[in-house]
């Protein structure tokens, strides 16, 4: 019984660690995507507009 509880506890810890890592990864990816899109909008947008508005 003790061994089963210990195994369950380690499985729970592994799952918790994995879900935290997943959340951090998703958050980081979404933040970097937002930054990239904003940066592109700032640099690419005005240049594109000035190129085609002539």
Q: Which tokens hold the place of 41?
A: 């909008």
One digit per residue, the tens of pLDDT, for the chain of length 54 reads 788 788 778 888 888 888 899 999 999 999 888 887 777 666 556 665 666 665
How far the first Cα of the chain sits from its last, in Å, is 79
Cα separations in angstroms, 2 against 9, 18, 28, 32, 33: 10, 24, 39, 45, 46
Domain residue spans of the chain: 29-54
Q: What is the pLDDT of residue 17?
A: 83
């Amino acid at each position: 019984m003790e061994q089963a509880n210990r195994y369950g506890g380690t499985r729970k810890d592994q799952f918790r660690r994995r879900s935290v890592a997943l959340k951090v990864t998703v958050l980081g990816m979404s933040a970097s995507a937002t930054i990239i899109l904003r940066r592109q909008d700032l640099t690419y947008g005005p240049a594109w507009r000035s190129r085609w508005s002539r």
